[in-house]
Amino acid sequence: MTEAVKGRTFAEAYDLFHRFAQMITRASDDAGEDLGALSAFAGVRRFPIGVKCATLPCHTLCSAIGSGHEVSTE
């Protein structure tokens, strides 16, 4: 995740997180086509606990840059 957001604006990082989260929670074959190396996580959607682990860095990043809402993986 760090490499994926390096050099991006906050808005771009939020967009990347939302596209990543959609890829690992929805059963769509083309959801991760523009996520680069993050598309390797597409198979995580089959493992619910893996989804939580995979999105934790994203939630942490959103909280750290001040998204204005409480972060929860529940």
- pLDDT value at residue 66: 72
Q: What is the pLDDT of residues 33-54, one digit of tens each?
A: 678 888 888 888 888 888 888 8
Question: Which amino acid is residue 17, in one-letter code?
Answer: F
Return the residue matching tokens 């906050």.
10
- Which pTM was predicted? 0.72
Q: Which residues of the chain have pLDDT under 50?
A: none
- pLDDT value at residue 23: 87
Task: Report the b/e string of 4-43 with b at 16+ CB within 10 A.
Answer: bbeeeeeeebbebbeebbebbeeeeeebbeebeebeebbe
- pLDDT value at residue 42: 86
